[in-house]
Structure 1
Amino acid sequence: MGNMTKLRKYHDEAAKLFEIIKPGVTYRVKDLATESGMPFSTVHYVVRKTLEQNKPGSPLWSLPVVESVSAAPEAKMNLASSVTSIKSAEVYIPKVEKEYVRWGSSKDIEAIMKSRMFYPVYISGPSGNGKTMMVEQSAAKAKVPFLRVQITPETDEDDLIGGFRLINGETVFCKGPVIKAMEEGALLLIDEIDRGTNKIMCLQGVLEGKPVLIKKTGETVSPAEGFNVIATANTKGRGSDDGRFSAATIIDDAFLERFVSAINQPWPSKAIEKKIVGNHMDKFDSVDTDFLDKLITWASIIRKTFEVDGVDEVISTRRLCHIIKTFSIFDDRAKSIEMCINRFDEDTITAFSDLYSKIDAGELTDEEAEEVNTAEVDVP
């Protein structure tokens, strides 16, 4: 079997070609090109890198001699595994989630995806308000290939574009998620992009929809039709003034300018959130409409209090769904809330618990709760 580590490109084409090539048979490049339906130049490149020429100047090529015919299938299997390691296994069409509720800018995101245009979008908003879910489920509805990459302060070009990995004792270049998405014409979701450093500046060309040069192999990859980028963040790229998102960085303005549009996603309305959380009750078979109503009121009061600096923490839509999941296990309202807010400091836990107790006991009706003074839930 040929030395696949010599291939700098056309790995998928090589896999297809080796479904045709048989041990002990000689081939002409033009015949392989005709049989495979691939361009002559592509086949010629793969053949030169992986097969042996019968003699100098000969038009005939064949697989390198192996120790025995029985060893050939094993060699072919090793080739297949090395090729598989660099295919786009992470690209998929997301499954439609029954509990998902379309709201906010979801219709706009779906329209962008269905257009199949290259139209980079930057979505910002509080943590836990459904940004990532909106993008994923929009891709599911539009049946668009999807790939998600999570950004951290350590994310660099090797993670995004690709790098060399040791596989089965051989050094193989593995394409990163950006290249895979480009080749597949997929939607690339860059999650928490404001957690990155200047190490992700390699994405600038990508955000222009232009071909990307893989410096480590010399290959130039052009984006396939349908390729697009959507980024999510908790900030607008200017850092976090209040310190809530301490890992959020200030993003270079030239980098941000490459996004065609920006969307700021707020908290859902009470009606929308009630539907979202209610769907999770259905999902976990723990329907309790009274508990649902009181949770929505509770979260709404806390957010309004947070907006006027009455408390330091907030209850997200995601945390409400966590409470429902916990409730489905323990069937205890107070315990479910307590377990899901224990990450806060003691004063906040006490304030939030006391507020819910008042709502649960009927001491605050919906109308009264809307007018509650911030001092009632203020943290000392």
Structure 2
Amino acid sequence: MENGAAQQPQAAYQNPERILQPAFYELNETFDLDTNQLILLEGYKECGHPAVPAVQPYVFDRDRLRKLLAFLDNPEGDGLYLCGPTGCGKTSLVSQAAARLHWPTQMVPVHGRLELDDLLGQKVLENGNTPFLYGALSTAVKEGHILILDEMDVADPSELAGLYDLLDGAPLVLAQNGGEIIPVHPRFRFVATGNSAGAGDGSGLYQGVLRQSLAWLDRFRVIAVDYPDEFTELMILNQVVPNLPVIVREKMVKLANEVRRLFTGGFDGKAVEGESQLSVTLSTRGLVRWAKLSLRFQGAPRVLEYALEQALTARVEPAERQAIHRIGHDVFGDLWSSGVDS
């Protein structure tokens, strides 16, 4: 099968010590919030399950977290689709919520050749036998995991049509395994992410994005995700690279937002007349990469420029690279040349 990442060894979930048991977590403590409400969230007891994502530094947007937790609590027959620009935190929003609730998650990176059988599973040759190896979808439905189809909008809509009945509440039928019927576990959740809203990519920025079937999209509730605001991105950098000087972190966020402004101006007319327009952007993921590399190479000559080239500008056209580095010089002033020790 094309997508080996979609396959999970069946034996990985047979360890008695890793049997999933329900548990409840308090909202404020679990997600580092400060509200005046006592809210309990259902998850699983910590048991070292291999499919539970690792906890990483993450700053949750309250509104998006509220919508996600409402879906995880009771999807009411819906799937969840998170759409937004590259690197804005769509997938990490779900995976980091799952990590804190100890909720096993099956992650499937979608590509244009993904077939339904890649998700369901297949028979394999093993010591002269042909046992059935359950795929990510079958495992999630059977065990009560979260399934994430990452970049779902590059999938062939005709392949996804085979999942309509599942999202309508029907059991999963594995014709490949003698017609095995898997009832849908009450804690199974179907989540997808994409750079488009499902209607194709009019900007031309995301190669391979396909227009998805309206019948398929109608089965999802939608959360629109954008880049965090300046305060939130500063909080992210504070967690990830606390040893970088505060002034450097602040100016990194300022540069990222200036690059994004010139990027969006290139496609929706927001740029000021006469300004250079950019065909690339500095995502939150790219911003974190830049910050980490700046700390890693701290002490090197022109370290901010050196790290930014590795994080972003080495892959853009020379004219745009010069434009972005010129923005860096304008934003950082003398720091651009003196480095992060100043």
Q: Fold conserved (TM > 0.5)? A: yes
Other-structure match for 2:296? 329
Partner of 1:354: 326
SS in structure 1 opposite 2:219?
Answer: coil
**Structure 1 residue 107, shift from structure 2 partner:** 2.5
- Aligned ranges 1:76-115 → 2 under 5 Å: 92-97=51-56, 99-103=57-61, 104-115=63-74
Match of 1:42 in 2: none
Instruction: Give the secondary structure class of the aligned counterpart of 1:250.
Output: coil
* RMSD across aligned positions (CA): 2.3
Overall identity of the aligned pairs, in %: 25
Q: Which amino acid aligns with 1:345?
A: E
Displacement, 1:208?
A: 1.8
Give the structure with higher Rg (CA). Answer: 1
Corresponding letter in the other structure for 2:315: R
**TM-score, length of structure 2 as denominator length:** 0.75
Quote the offset at 1:158 in angstroms. 1.6
Is 1:304 the counterpart of 2:261 in the alignment? yes
Q: State the aligned residue count.
A: 275
Counterpart CA distance in 1 for 2:75 and 2:159 is: 28
What is the distance in 1 between the residues matched to 2:150 and 2:50? 15
Runs of 5+ unmatched residues, structure 1: 1-10, 17-88, 365-380
Which AA in structure 2 matches 1:251?
Q
Matches within 5 A, 1:212-251: 212-216=172-176, 217-251=178-212
**Alignment CA distance shift 1:141-1:108 (3 Å):** farther
Answering whether residue 315 of structure 2 is matched by residue 343 of structure 1, we say yes
Structure 1 distance, partners of 2:100, 2:75, is 14
Q: Is 1:275 aligned to 2:275, yes or no?
A: no
Which residue of 66, 69, 81 maps to 1:122?
81
C-alpha change, 1:237 and 1:90, in structure 2 (3 Å) is farther
Structure-2 change in CA distance of 1:240 and 1:116 (3 Å): closer
Unpaired runs of 5+ in structure 2?
A: 1-9, 16-47, 267-276, 337-342
Q: Supply the AA of the counterpart residue of 1:189.
A: I
Which residue is equivalent to 1:194? Answer: 153
Shift of residue 292, structure 1, vs aligned partner: 0.6
Match of 2:43 in 1: none
1:266-322 Cα distance to aligned partner (Å, 9 max, x none): 11111111111222103xxx4221211111111111111222212211110000111
What displacement does 1:173 show? 1.5
The change in CA–CA distance for 1:168 and 1:348 in structure 2 (over 3 A counts) is farther
Q: Deviations over 1:188-247 (max 9, x none)?
A: 111110111122322222222320211122111111111111110000111111111011
The match for 2:30 is none
Q: After the TM superposition, which residues 175-186 of structure 1 pair with which residues of structure 2 at under 5 Å, given as runs? A: 175-186=134-145
Against the structure 1 CA distance between its residues 90 and 232, is the aligned structure 2 distance closer, same or farther, given a 3 Å change threshold? farther
SS of equivalent residue, structure 1 residue 105: helix
Greater length-normalized contact order (CA 8 Å, ≥ 6 residues apart): 2
| Structure 1 pair 199–116 and aligned structure 2 pair: CA distance change class (3 A) | closer
